[in-house]
Structure 1
Amino acid sequence: MVEIVGRDGQIGVLEALLDRACDGHGAALVLRGEAGIGKSVLMEHAVRAGRKRGMRVLSVTGVQAEVQIPYAGLDHLLRPLRPGASDTGSPYRLALEVLELLGENDAPVLMAIEDAHWLDVSSWETLTFLCRRIEVDRIALIMAVRDGEDIDRRLAAAGLPELRLEPLGAADSRALLDRTAPGLPLALGARVLDEAAGNPLGIVELGAAAGREGGSALLPSALPLSTRVEQTFAGLVAELPPLTRDLLLIAALDDGGDLDEILAAAALATGADVSPDAIQPAVAARLVTVDERYEVRFRHPLLRSALRQQAGAGDRRRIHSALAEVLSHQPERRLWHRASAESGRNEALARELTEAAVGASERQAIAVALAAVSRAVQLSEDPAERGRRQVWACDLAASQGDAVTVRRLMAEIDESALRPADQARLTWIREASLGDSWSGSERLLAYADLIDTIRRDGQPDLAVKAITELALRVYYSSAPAVVRDRFVGVLFALGLDDDDPRLTVNLLQIAPVEHGATGLERLRRLVHRMDLPAGRRMELGVAAFAIGAFDLARDFALSSAADLRRQGQIGSLTKALSTAASAAAALGDTRGALPLAAECIALAAETGQPTWMLGGSLVAALAEARRGDVDAARRRADDAERVLVAARRFPMLALVQRVRGVAALADGRADDAFRQLMRVYDPADSAHFPNYELLMLGDLAEAAVRGGLLDELSPVVSRLVPLAAQSRSPALTVGLAYGRAVLTGDYAAALADDLADWPFDRARLQLTYGASLRRAHRITECRPLLRAAAATFDALGATPWADRARAELRATGETRRKPMDALATLTPQEQQIARLAAEGLSNREIGERLFLSPRTVSTHLYRIYPKVDVSSRAELARKVTSSDVV
């Protein structure tokens, strides 16, 4: 084995990673650095070291020509384990399938990925998602990437540990040169070292070239090192037979590495039979290898790029045309080569690419769709169709959060050629993706006008899509009546049927008071419609929360989450989890809310959804405040306030104020709680948010009665009575019942209402009523109320409220012991796993629900059992059941 110069520290890191993986502590690592810095050499060392440890090695090299083909890289990587292609669905579901596939054999696994920056997006997302889920698997995953802005963005989103390779020092550089090009004159060697600047590949290749050709090999010195090394490789290729050079160029332009495929394309390009022996001179020159599966691999990526850059346009098109013919049995790959071979405008081919882009978009392969529609733009003959495709490209880039690409694409559009609907759509995308403001009546009115323009131009589906995307923004913008009415008018003009769920989704978010009553009736009819797509049920959950139908919101969101998990739609799943957690927290169920919020935050972070990360954190804060962890709740509230104020999303400060108000209630500071919560109800306050007035009156009324501030509560209650009559908001109805009870003292009437779906609010009534009876010395009457309240609060995990109920009972002379909460010692994820295990799900089924490997689930259960003092699933189920609400 050749000794690697100057990389002892990095080798130690890699070998430690392999040792940990063999011991069942899987991990991933990214090798980063400029071209030629030594990533491939270290990767080869890791592969050899892995094999010495008995690891099964799976390897692949990213190829630039494959970046548009979903799962091309992953399929190459997994080819030794399975022959078929990957499903083109969700990378997140596929990541779990890969974990299961790797776990079928107990041998440790090393996944070695060279040039990961050239992996297609689907493979990248699958592998990086997998990287974050192998902590207890016998898997090591090493990716080598070249520096660049694109990979910076990818790695920032992936959040994987990195090992950066820096240039070699002077002593190591000299040692490497002496080993690879001995006998160079001192002055010439110094020039090589100066030009290479510590880059190992530069030292090796420029040193070898200098040994052959003298100082002329280092000219012109103004060129970048990578270009000069490419020229060195190109010089080596020039010495090969013409047919071998053709084969190498075909291999460089191919989006696969199959030798037979390359030979067949060469035969078509040259018009003669080509023997497999024709590749042998390149193998002998150590420019490529041909493995046991007859896959051609380049010695270094710079050789591939050198071949592509030096080939003339005519030669590249001729080879792409030959590859397209060879790949007639693979329509998707064939289309890309046909598109690359086309020399001019071709509207028919542009339409084919556009259709391919539609298919890719539907399966969430957005990067593939963007690449296809961008090439379709280049091939377009009709200016209006070209403009429509350019606008769609902007929309696709915006959906990825790539503002730089959006700006570049917009600058290329000839807006004078756009049809009216496309002009309207472009304006909407520009404002939505590049705007720096969240609210504003004029902007929202402009959006409504744009959507109406799209409708009148004959694109109703696009108009519905646009208004649905905007509805939640309207909800959280405290939009005045003129804006709400305009959006409602546009929505009705779309002519949706009364039973169309999209009508309900939009009406309840845009105008929850004005259309709450009819919307609520529709929600109750739709909640049992399991034929609705999971994404639509998620949207209905959001709408149900907007009107304060928390029980319906939770049902819609949880039912959709089950299907969204199975489908691997992580973006929509994050929203469903946020909605379910929000509903649980609003109902006072901290045990249900915290695990859902934790998963929401984790998935939002993994998929780059900062808005839903923030929302999940505020939900977690509300649940933490309810259970008495007020310091954690306040920290989250403070962090959220900084973000919201900076973005001028002032209505959302109502969520912050609710957390602070509930935390103050939990802390026993009722006066402070009332002041915090009243900010939401004060039109002069920056945190004023009319829509949230419907949702949190119960907390305000509790603060008022505990703080002796009923006179200030009374006008708020009076003002909200007509809103309740109009909207029929369940949350407002329940809140008003409690508010009236504390103002009039008639608690019996409020308790007579059906509050089966509102256990926290029922227990709050029981506690407040029981406390008033205790103060009136009506001991016999108050005790059953206080016992019931304490039991419910304990079951919900609302510890401060349960403690208050027990304190009131003690004042009557009755002692009620505080129950032991075994699950309180578990993390939110452990609580989730414990509950699923208690429901009878297997480790595999739990893993599918939570995007974890069965081995990871097993490890968590191994840690959970001693924490809750059980030794079996049956005992765990009894523990969990004893903590749940009956």
Structure 2
Amino acid sequence: MILGRRSEFAALSALLGSAAAGDGGALVLRGEAGIGKSALLEESARRAGGSGVRVLGTAGVQAEVHIPYAGLHRLLRTAPDLAGAAVGILGSPDTLPFRAASALLDVVSAEDTPLLITVEDLQWLDEASWEALAFAARRLSAERAAMLLTARDGPDVNRRLSGSGLAEVRLEPLDSDDSAALLKRVAPGLAPSLAAQVLLTAQGNPLGLVELGEAAARSGGAALSPGRLPLSERLERTFSGLVGELPPVTRSLLLVAALDDGDDLDEVVRACRLLEPGAAGYEDVDPAVVTRLVQVDDFRLRFRHPLLRSALSQSVSAVRRRRVHAALAEVLSADPERGVWHRAAAADGPDEELARQLTETATRAQHRQAAGIAMTAFERAARLSEDPAARGNRLMAAVEMASEQGDTLAARRLLAEIRVHELTPGDRAVYELRQEVFHGTRYTGGERLIGFAETVEALAAAGEAARAVRLINTIALRTHYSNPDPAVVERLAVAIDQMTAVHDDPLLPALASMIAPVTRGERARRGIRGLSAAGGTDPYTTWRLGLASATAGDSVMACELFAVAAVGLRAQGRLGVLYQLLITHAMNAAHLGDARTALALIPEGESLARELGEPNWLPTAWSAAGTAEALRGDVHAAADRAAATEAALLPYGRNPLLAWVHQVRGIAALGAGRPEEAFGELRRVFDPADDSYHPYTGHFLVAHLAEAAAGCGATAELRELVDQLTPAAEQGRGPALLAGLGYARAVLADSAAGYERALGEELTRWPFEQARRQHAYGAWLRRRRRPAESRPLLRAAAATFDALGATAWADRSRTELRASGESLRRPTENAAVLTPQETQIARLAADGLSNRDIAERLFVSPRTVTTHLSRIYPKLGIRSRVELARALRIT
């Protein structure tokens, strides 16, 4: 089944329909190599045959282009019962084309059923066959026959068709939707980042999509590295064959242009003259322009299809390619940023100085957020390395860049090339951590952190800040979720402090707060607020600053930074970071009680993690979704998510990530009115003897634990815990912990003064916690027979909980309100009827984004967005996007 081509098939159907009615005709399908002409011809022939039309076919063969009537003989051999006298007429090379055409028309007339004649590759038909077929085609109007021809672009075809009088249909590249659908068909498991590269490279060329898609599925990111696309023999023959007929000097010019990373014709000619002195001039590119292989505008040379560039580079020997790169490097001597790539490509052995320069290029690309370029540069630098330890370090850096892009295949391939015995202790620790993450065999927690601390200290002492920052960035999140020895944590934090004093990387204080949230959190949050206010940080840094805010207990700032970073990461195509951001954003939204936002973010984050082959983040996604479902009061959905998370994490043994399982179960039990069960689940997260102990997760759960304690009478244990956590709150000033302790103290005070003090705290950016206090005080007042005072508090609490999607809490506020003598109906949950993707699209549209903007953010087509919105409006009972915010109750 051919994707797209609706207008082309309509034209072909009209042609066959007219032919069946006795009004025959001819049509030429033309376009560039690989555009799908043959596939369309074959499908048309199949459909015609299926509808009772007889099909005869021929094709031009390049080797027979000088044999008169070779093409017509091939056609008649497919219909020996009709050929008759025509065979004898064509047997003479002196037969005039109009006589041959007349013989062909006799064959057509002899057939009682409708007839379709297919002619493939007319550019390679012998001249006699072409003239006869064109003559006959112009005279089919009175016949029940049609002729369908395919032709590749080129001067010979232009010459033939210009005076033929035959109708033409030009096949254009497939649109983005059909390209994506075709790629998904040929390479269904391809990671989104690789799929995006294939789509960009193929530019809608079906043959390119098929061949490159299959190559990428086999070889991962290596299949699409710049300058060495591994085209199959079929694709190489297709595109290289176009060049084979050009003059040698033109072929040389095109080869230089294919290996050049620029498009300056002057640059290409100068390099070609170095390659073959005196052989090349500007006019030598003209044959390639005439054949439509390239176009030249204002001395800018551009290939009409990128696959031709790749085919050219593969059509010559490695020695020849190195000579071309050496010539380009000499021409580009004044441009070291570009010249280093050509020097690297021209190198025929290890070169440590060149490897060092490429490493610097990779580091600059990394800072520019060009992860793909950085990966390629690090990998090439590793290939050129003379120092084994440097080789290993550069390969580890390439692994990191591949991981950021979501290219798991490339990351695993690069890991497999590393010789572990050559690594430094720090790189070996990172290597083992990467292996653990990629293969998911165990969770070693903080076992290796002492080695990391020693390496960071050594790098800091040696002044290698960039390598130290990269190492800390790799281990920071693992450190946060490992409950490591406090002494090791302090060593890491001190090493970061020392680097911060001499290095202005904005990530350093943020990473310090991820590793030591209590001792370094407050200072880091001040710095992050300043950077956020100033703006200008790149998307990756913004994401890491958001993550640092989250681990330091500031979910509000984290969510703001995540929302900004997501836009940039989407634009850069860094899906390997984006899915982590979406899942983390969802978890922090859930910590803020915002079930609506969490549930809108999870589907895409979870889907990307699966598509990229990153199962390690799925438990986090399930935990975030389970927490949001618990807030909504969907106990069964929350239980399913908790069970899935537990099943994934239990094989690793003692694991702080298990804290999320008890988070989900505890909040679900609390929302369902089972405070004793909730307290038991949540208390485990705070118990150092429990396998799921994790103090920093506990900082987000203090208020939930206090609410459960109030419901089951466990205030003595709560008081003890408050006393234990107070020093950390005073030192680190983490917003989540401060908010939780503020509510816990109100519960322990159990007085009007205590609740009023809690309500007086600044919580405008923590609406769930404000509503929780309003509910608790309102319920306290009602039970003391002060219903009039309780109602405003309970109404406000219910409204906030409803807006956040925390339905279980909103229902409890309504219950208390009814008990006070006032009823409040539950609002219509319009959003509940939407699918997760519809919800996401609806929220973005309500925020004012255009369909195209939404499509770019969600990696779908604008047409898909339009289709979803057309379904969303009737579901919500609205007519336009201006009503979406109200319908979704977005505040």
Same fold at TM > 0.5: yes
Contact 1:327 1:333 (8 Å CA) reproduced: yes
| Candidates 659, 666, 675, aligned match of 1:670 | 675
Contact 2:702 2:744 (8 Å CA) reproduced: yes
Question: For residues 324-357 of structure 1, what are the alpha-carbon distances to aligned partners after superposition, in whole Å with 9 as ceiling and x for unaligned?
Answer: 7899999989766654554456566555544554
Residue 797 of structure 1 and its aligned partner are, at CA, apart by 1.1
- 1:48-197 correspondence runs (5 A): 48=41, 124-127=194-197, 143-145=209-211, 151-152=217-218, 154=220
Residue 741 of structure 1 and its aligned partner are, at CA, apart by 2.4
Residue 362 of structure 1 and its aligned partner are, at CA, apart by 4.8
Distance in 2 of aligned mates of 1:314 and 1:497: 47
Indicate the residue corresponding to 2:605 in structure 1.
600
Structure 1-normalised TM-score?
0.67
Contact 1:786 1:808 (8 Å CA) reproduced: yes
| Candidates 749, 754, 772, aligned match of 2:762 | 754
Distance in 2 of aligned mates of 1:345 and 1:779: 83
Distance in 2 of aligned mates of 1:636 and 1:475: 23
Give 3-state SS (helix, strand or coil) of 2:210's partner.
Answer: strand
Residue 664 of structure 1 and its aligned partner are, at CA, apart by 1.6
Say if 2:418 is the partner of 1:410: yes
| Candidates 694, 702, 709, aligned match of 1:689 | 694
Indicate the residue corresponding to 1:587 in structure 2.
592
Question: For residues 515-565 of structure 1, what are the alpha-carbon distances to aligned partners after superposition, in whole Å with 9 as ceiling and x for unaligned?
Answer: 344444445544423244443332222222223222222233333334444
| Candidates 772, 788, 793, aligned match of 1:780 | 788
Give, as a single letter, the amino acid of the residue that structure 2 aligns with 1:884: I
Indicate the residue corresponding to 1:433 in structure 2.
434
Give 3-state SS (helix, strand or coil) of 1:684's partner.
Answer: coil
Give 3-state SS (helix, strand or coil) of 2:660's partner.
Answer: helix
Indicate the residue corresponding to 1:46 in structure 2.
39
Give, as a single letter, the amino acid of the residue that structure 2 aligns with 1:772: W
- 1:316-331 correspondence runs (5 A): none
Say if 2:529 is the partner of 1:459: no
Contact 1:265 1:323 (8 Å CA) reproduced: yes
Give, as a single letter, the amino acid of the residue that structure 1 aligns with 2:629: E
Indicate the residue corresponding to 2:49 in structure 1.
none
Indicate the residue corresponding to 1:468 in structure 2.
473
Give, as a single letter, the amino acid of the residue that structure 2 aligns with 1:781: E
Distance in 1 of aligned mates of 2:256 and 2:599: 51
What runs of 5+ residues in structure 2 fail to find an aligned partner? 11-32, 47-152, 154-171, 225-231, 296-302, 404-409
Residue 687 of structure 1 and its aligned partner are, at CA, apart by 0.7
Distance in 1 of aligned mates of 2:342 and 2:650: 50
Say if 2:496 is the partner of 1:494: no
The structure-2 alpha-carbon separation of the partners of 1:765 and 1:497, relative to structure 1 and needing over 3 Å to count, comes to farther
Moved more, 723-732 or 697-706: 723-732
The structure-2 alpha-carbon separation of the partners of 1:112 and 1:701, relative to structure 1 and needing over 3 Å to count, comes to closer
Contact 1:22 1:139 (8 Å CA) reproduced: no
Indicate the residue corresponding to 2:723 in structure 1.
718
Indicate the residue corresponding to 1:650 in structure 2.
655
Question: For residues 98-134 of structure 1, what are the alpha-carbon distances to aligned partners after superposition, in whole Å with 9 as ceiling and x for unaligned?
Answer: xxx989x9998799889999xx999944256789xx9
| Candidates 767, 775, 790, aligned match of 1:767 | 775
Distance in 1 of aligned mates of 2:245 and 2:757: 96
Give, as a single letter, the amino acid of the residue that structure 2 aligns with 1:537: T
Distance in 1 of aligned mates of 2:505 and 2:271: 53
Distance in 2 of aligned mates of 1:582 and 1:299: 43
Give 3-state SS (helix, strand or coil) of 1:400's partner.
Answer: helix
- 1:27-42 correspondence runs (5 A): none
Residue 505 of structure 1 and its aligned partner are, at CA, apart by 1.0
Contact 1:581 1:596 (8 Å CA) reproduced: yes
Contact 1:394 1:409 (8 Å CA) reproduced: no
Question: For residues 613-644 of structure 1, what are the alpha-carbon distances to aligned partners after superposition, in whole Å with 9 as ceiling and x for unaligned?
Answer: 44233222211211122222222222222222
Moved more, 749-758 or 526-535: 526-535
Distance in 1 of aligned mates of 2:762 and 2:254: 74
Say if 2:860 is the partner of 1:859: no
Give, as a single letter, the amino acid of the residue that structure 1 aligns with 2:870: Y
Contact 2:518 2:728 (8 Å CA) reproduced: yes
Indicate the residue corresponding to 1:395 in structure 2.
397
Answer with 1 or 2: which has the greater Rg: 2
Residue 588 of structure 1 and its aligned partner are, at CA, apart by 0.9
Residue 760 of structure 1 and its aligned partner are, at CA, apart by 1.5
Contact 2:623 2:664 (8 Å CA) reproduced: yes
Give, as a single letter, the amino acid of the residue that structure 1 aligns with 2:210: A
Indicate the residue corresponding to 1:709 in structure 2.
714
Distance in 1 of aligned mates of 2:724 and 2:691: 20
The structure-2 alpha-carbon separation of the partners of 1:333 and 1:543, relative to structure 1 and needing over 3 Å to count, comes to closer
- Aligned length, in residue pairs: 706
| Candidates 796, 799, 809, aligned match of 1:801 | 809
Indicate the residue corresponding to 1:207 in structure 2.
none
Give, as a single letter, the amino acid of the residue that structure 2 aligns with 1:683: P
The structure-2 alpha-carbon separation of the partners of 1:253 and 1:473, relative to structure 1 and needing over 3 Å to count, comes to same
Identity score, percent = 38
Give 3-state SS (helix, strand or coil) of 2:209's partner.
Answer: strand
Give 3-state SS (helix, strand or coil) of 2:417's partner.
Answer: helix
The structure-2 alpha-carbon separation of the partners of 1:676 and 1:19, relative to structure 1 and needing over 3 Å to count, comes to farther
Residue 241 of structure 1 and its aligned partner are, at CA, apart by 12
Contact 1:113 1:142 (8 Å CA) reproduced: no
| Candidates 457, 461, 486, aligned match of 1:481 | 486
The structure-2 alpha-carbon separation of the partners of 1:839 and 1:252, relative to structure 1 and needing over 3 Å to count, comes to closer
Moved more, 537-546 or 525-534: 525-534
Say if 2:544 is the partner of 1:539: yes
Give, as a single letter, the amino acid of the residue that structure 2 aligns with 1:393: L
What runs of 5+ residues in structure 1 fail to find an aligned partner? 1-12, 24-39, 54-79, 81-100, 159-225, 284-288, 416-422
Distance in 1 of aligned mates of 2:329 and 2:706: 72
Distance in 1 of aligned mates of 2:570 and 2:306: 39
Contact 2:715 2:748 (8 Å CA) reproduced: yes
Give 3-state SS (helix, strand or coil) of 1:514's partner.
Answer: helix
Say if 2:738 is the partner of 1:733: yes
Contact 1:17 1:140 (8 Å CA) reproduced: no
Contact 2:838 2:872 (8 Å CA) reproduced: yes
Moved more, 742-751 or 346-355: 346-355
Say if 2:533 is the partner of 1:528: yes
Question: For residues 621-676 of structure 1, what are the alpha-carbon distances to aligned partners after superposition, in whole Å with 9 as ceiling and x for unaligned?
Answer: 21121112222222222222222233457101111210111112222322222211
The structure-2 alpha-carbon separation of the partners of 1:596 and 1:244, relative to structure 1 and needing over 3 Å to count, comes to same
Contact 1:527 1:552 (8 Å CA) reproduced: no
Question: For residues 672-709 of structure 1, what are the alpha-carbon distances to aligned partners after superposition, in whole Å with 9 as ceiling and x for unaligned?
Answer: 22211111122221111122222201111222222343
Give, as a single letter, the amino acid of the residue that structure 1 aligns with 2:396: C
The structure-2 alpha-carbon separation of the partners of 1:46 and 1:291, relative to structure 1 and needing over 3 Å to count, comes to farther
Question: For residues 71-108 of structure 1, what are the alpha-carbon distances to aligned partners after superposition, in whole Å with 9 as ceiling and x for unaligned?
Answer: xxxxxxxxx9xxxxxxxxxxxxxxxxxxxx989x9998
The structure-2 alpha-carbon separation of the partners of 1:717 and 1:633, relative to structure 1 and needing over 3 Å to count, comes to same
Contact 1:428 1:450 (8 Å CA) reproduced: no
Contact 2:399 2:411 (8 Å CA) reproduced: yes
The structure-2 alpha-carbon separation of the partners of 1:115 and 1:749, relative to structure 1 and needing over 3 Å to count, comes to closer
**1 or 2 for the larger relative contact order (CA 8 Å, sep ≥6)?**
1
Question: For residues 376-435 of structure 1, what are the alpha-carbon distances to aligned partners after superposition, in whole Å with 9 as ceiling and x for unaligned?
Answer: 55555xx44x642442123213542556544543329856xxxxxxx3543343233234
Give 3-state SS (helix, strand or coil) of 1:478's partner.
Answer: coil
